[in-house]
Structure 1
C-alpha cells in the first residue's frame, strides 16, 4: 500500500531532522522547497521558497574525534544558569587538559539519547577549540554530554568513559530511573 502525500512529507521531515537513518552517508544541501516538493505528487508541487534561496547544509554523519587528533583549546568559560545557589555548580571546573580528555574519550550520540538518558544541568563550560585544524565552538554540560559545532556542522557527544566520570557532576541514567 503506497504512502499518502502527508505520510511521505512526515517521513521526509524525519529523515532531514536526522531521526531516520540515511540510505547513503554523505552531505546534502537542502532547501525547504526541496523538502516540500519531494513529498508531493507532481500535480501538487509548488515552490515554497524561490529557486535561488540560500541552501541549508545538513551533515548526515557524525564526527568521531580520533585518539591522535590535534586538539587545542582556545577559550573556556563556565556559565551557571540556575537561579538556586547549588554548591556543586559553583565548585565545578574543568581545566584545558580536562576538556581535551573529554573530547578524546567521547563518542557521538543523538539528541534523543541525551534527552532519554542524561540530565541537562544548569552548569556548562562554553568555549572554542581547534580539532585537526578545524575551529569549533563547544558547550560541555555538567551532565556528561556536550555539543561541538561551527557554521556548517553540529555534533552531539557523550563521555561515558570511566576515566571521565570524575569530570562531571552527573552521569548516564538508567531508563528505570525516570
Structure 2
C-alpha cells in the first residue's frame, strides 16, 4: 500500500486495485500492457478528480516543460513521503498537460523510461479524498478509492473489458 505524507489523505483505505496481467508478447506501452492499461483507466479516473499530484524525477524528458505548466507544491502541502519535485495539476484546466505526461509513443524507450520510472508517484484527488494513487514502476501499487464515486468500478470494468488481463479487483492488502 502506498503511504501519503498527509495523514488526512491517508485515512481512506483503498477499496480496489487496478490489475494488469499482460499476455505473452505484449509490451508495456501496448494497449494491453501495464502503461496502456493504466492510461485507459486514467481516462475514467481523471474525469472524477479535481487535482493531480505527481512526483517527477528531474531526469524526466518533460521536467522543465511541466515545471512551467504545473504548480510546484510547497513542502508544507506535499502529499508524497520524501517528495522533492512534486507538482500539482488542476482538473480540468491542466488535463492536456496530465495526458501528455502519461502518454507514450510505441517503441520510444525514452518515453517508456520517463513514464515508468521518472514519474515516481502519481495521485488523483477529488474534493472528498483521493481517488487513485500509483507508483508506476510498482504495478502492485495502483490503488483506487471508490468512496464518494458511485459507478466508478462499473465504468472502469466497461472501459477495460476488451483488454486481456486487465481488471479492477477489490483491494485485499496485497
TM over 0.5: no
Q: Based on CA coordinates, which of the two structures has the bigger radius of gyration?
A: 1
TM-score normalised by the chain length of structure 2: 0.27
The TM-score normalised by the length of structure 1 is: 0.26
